[in-house]
């Protein structure tokens, strides 16, 4: 069993620490049980189960650190791994960016673990595949999907008295439905901490309908269009923006957040004033761990407020160098939405394009946060408040900063990939070429 309770983990880590003779010692421990099933061509292709457990010791003498890892937890093994880390530390060069471990911290209890998800069985997974494949076959559609679930824990203890522990469960599901003649394709993604919220049949049905609706797509000219982005489409672009909110690269002058003449754009309006993005580990829809890898407590943090950049992530080293408090990088992102449903947003659109998802997104220019990628698995032309017909896929070249400045409407929020993202209507979204891909 790779998942240890708080008390079991604490006991093992205390034992390991008792062998330490270094100036400071930090121990990370983790374990997980995960399972998956993959299917394609309406049949199961692979399935598997993995069990992992590990304990990592970082020993430090002054600014010299050494790390050693072990996956067995007998007293002898724990003593061996601590000694090995200490030997390595003595041999290493000094790390000028070394930070002393943190002292004890207060953490809120996280809500990331659900027993139901930890109890998923191989039969459950096979049943999920069945719920995709059977309805697909009835509609002459071919299903290809992947379900991946895991339960695990992580813990941190150091010689300064800090102890942190978290348990979490997770489930990720995607399915692509293609019409048997290859002319239509649909897709959905779902992710939850609690498997009881997951309905494989409902999700699969949406992908089947999109596949059928997207047949006989027509080509329209590339150019600037008003788009309605489903949350799965915008999440990919927003994640790239979010991961770039790093103080060090901004201070160093190599980020879109660096300012002309030096300094950063912190405190400046960078996007439309209706944009509010924050993180909160205790949001019940998208919970995440209440501490990060350094042992810093992760709390509710505002990143963009009324369009103004409010925070950048500061590592402990960079914060100390800059004379500010560290700001840990969060585990989720929550973007404020509105009350409009997708149907309302379509009804209010005279001419536009509905995008299910983007694919193969890559950085083009980090200076402007310009990305390219393509639409995929359901792209539709909207005219006079109605979906008129499916259209061929487009390549885009767009920056999430420009996109959030061209915001028209915010719709309802949906959980995607551990974050809460609203439907969004954006004007002048830049499509640069057509793709024949279905």
Partner 1 sequence: MKRRDFMQLAGLGTGAIMLPTSMWGKEIPVEALMDPGLDVASKKKLADVALNTAKSLGATYADTRIGRYLNQYVFTREDKVQNVVNTESFGMGIRVIAQGTWGFASTNDVSPEGIKKATEQAVAIAKANSKIQKEPVVLAPVDSYGEVSWKTPIRKDFKDVPVSEKVDLLLKANSAAMENGASFVNSALFMVNEQKYFASTEGSYIDQDVHRIWPTFGVTAIDQSKGKFKSRQALSAPMGMGYEYMDGLASEKIAGPGDLQFYRYSYDIVEDAIAAAKQAKEMLTAKSVDPGKYTMVLDPNHLGLTIHESVGHPLELDRVLGYEANYAGTSFATLDKWKSKDFEYGSKLVNIVADKTQPHSLGAVGYDDEGVKTKKWDLIRNGVLVNYEAIRDQVHMLDQKESHGCCYAQSWNDVQFQRMPNVSLEAGKEKCSVNDMIKDVEKGIYIAGRGSYSIDQQRYNFQFGGTVFYEIRDGKIGEMLNDVAYQSNTQEFWNSCTKICDKDDYRMFGSFFDGKGQPSQVSAVSHGCSTTRFDNVNVINTGRNI
Check binding of 332 to partner 1 (CB under 8 A): yes
Query: Binding residue for partner 1 (CB under 8 A) from 324, 368, 383, 387?
Result: 368
For residue 221, the SS3 value is coil
Under rule CB under 8 A, residue 138 binds partner 1: no
Q: Using CB under 8 A, which of 2, 6, 15, 56 touches partner 1? A: 56
The span from the first CA to the last CA of the chain, in angstroms, equals 44
Residue 243 near partner 1 by CB under 8 A: yes
Task: Find the farthest-apart pair of alpha carbons in the chain and give their distance in angstroms, rounded.
Answer: 73
**Could you say which DSSP state residue 411 is in?**
E
Of 20 and 193, nearer to partner 1 (C-beta) is: 193
Burial 358-373 (b: 16+ CB within 10 A, else e): bbebeeeeeeebbbbb
Query: What is the distance between the alpha carbons of residues 436 and 438, in angstroms, rounded to a whole number?
Result: 7
Residue 432 binding partner 1, by CB under 8 A? yes
Residue 42 binds partner 1, judged by CB under 8 A: yes
Q: Kindly write down the DSSP assignment for every residue of 51-88, as one continuous string.
A: EEEEEEEEEEETTEEEEEEES---HHHHHHHHHHHHHH
**Using CB under 8 A as the criterion, what x/- string covers residues 262-281 for binding partner 1?**
x-------x-----------
For the chain, what's the residue count? 438
CB-CB contact of 289 with 111 (8 Å) = no
- Judged by CB, which is closer to partner 1: 85, or 346? 85
CA distance 84 to 64: 14
**Interface with partner 1 includes 437 (CB under 8 A)?**
yes
Residue 210 is a binding residue for partner 1 (CB under 8 A): no
Question: How far is Cα 273 from Cα 118, in angstroms, rounded to an integer?
Answer: 41
Interaction of residue 301 with partner 1, rule CB under 8 A: no
Nearest to 71 by CA among 35, 30, 34, 33: 30
Q: Which of 17, 77, 285, 434 binds partner 1 (CB under 8 A)?
A: 434
**285 in contact with partner 1 (CB under 8 A):** no
From candidates 62, 253, 267, 293, binder to partner 1 by CB under 8 A: 253
DSSP state of 195: G
Instruction: Tell me how far, at minimum, the Cβ of 175 lies from partner 1, in Å.
Output: 6
Footprint (CB under 8 A) of partner 1, residues 392-411? 393, 395, 397, 399, 401-402
Please report, as residue ranges, which positions from 11 to 40 form the binding site for partner 1 (by CB under 8 A): 36, 38, 40
The residue within the footprint of partner 1, chosen from 14, 21, 41, 321 (CB under 8 A), is 41
For residues 90-129, which are near partner 1 according to CB under 8 A?
Answer: 92-93, 95-97, 122, 126, 129
Which of 419, 423, 426, 431: binder of partner 1 (CB under 8 A)? Answer: 419
């Amino acid at each position: 069993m790779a998942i240890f309770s708080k008390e079991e983990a604490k006991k093992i880590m205390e034992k390991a620490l008792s062998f330490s003779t270094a100036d400071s010692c930090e121990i990370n421990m983790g374990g997980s049980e995960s399972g998956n099933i993959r299917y394609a061509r309406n049949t199961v292709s692979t399935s598997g189960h993995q069990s992992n457990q590990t304990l990592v010791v970082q020993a430090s003498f002054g600014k010299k650190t050494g790390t050693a890892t072990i996956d067995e937890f007998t007293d002898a093994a724990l003593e061996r791994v601590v000694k090995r880390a200490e030997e390595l530390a003595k041999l290493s060069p000094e790390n000028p960016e070394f930070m002393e471990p943190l002292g004890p911290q207060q953490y809120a209890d996280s809500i990331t673990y659900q027993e139901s998800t930890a109890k998923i069985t191989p039969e459950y997974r096979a049943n999920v595949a069945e719920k995709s494949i059977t309805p697909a076959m009835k509609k002459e559609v071919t299903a290809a999907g992947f379900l991946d679930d895991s339960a695990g824990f992580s813990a941190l203890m150091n010689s300064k008295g800090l102890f942190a522990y978290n348990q979490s469960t997770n489930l990720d599901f995607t399915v692509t439905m293609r019409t048997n003649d290859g002319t239509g394709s649909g897709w959905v993604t779902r992710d939850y901490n609690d498997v009881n919220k997951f309905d494989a049949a409902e999700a699969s049905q949406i992908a089947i309908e999109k596949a059928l609706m997207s047949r006989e797509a027509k080509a329209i000219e590339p150019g600037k269009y008003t788009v309605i982005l489903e949350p799965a489409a915008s999440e990919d672009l927003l994640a790239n923006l979010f991961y770039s909110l790093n103080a060090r690269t901004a201070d160093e002058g190599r980020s879109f957040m660096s300012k002309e003449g030096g300094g950063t754009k912190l405190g400046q309006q960078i996007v439309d004033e209706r944009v509010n993005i924050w993180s909160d580990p205790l949001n019940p829809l998208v919970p995440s761990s209440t501490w990060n890898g350094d042992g810093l407590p992760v709390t509710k943090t505002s990143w963009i407020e009324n369009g103004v950049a409010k925070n950048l992530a500061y590592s402990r080293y960079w914060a100390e160098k800059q004379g500010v408090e560290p700001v840990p990088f969060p585990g989720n992102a929550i973007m404020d939405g509105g009350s409009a449903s997708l149907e309302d947003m379509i009804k209010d659109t005279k001419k536009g394009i509905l995008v299910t998802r983007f694919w193969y997104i890559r950085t083009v220019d980090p200076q402007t946060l310009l990305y390219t990628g393509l639409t995929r698995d359901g792209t539709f032309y909207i005219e006079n408040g109605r979906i008129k017909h499916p259209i061929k896929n487009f390549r885009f070249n767009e920056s999430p900063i420009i996109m959030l400045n061209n915001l028209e409407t915010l719709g309802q929020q949906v959980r995607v990939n551990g974050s809460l993202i609203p439907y969004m209507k954006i004007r002048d979204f830049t499509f640069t070429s057509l793709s024949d891909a279905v």
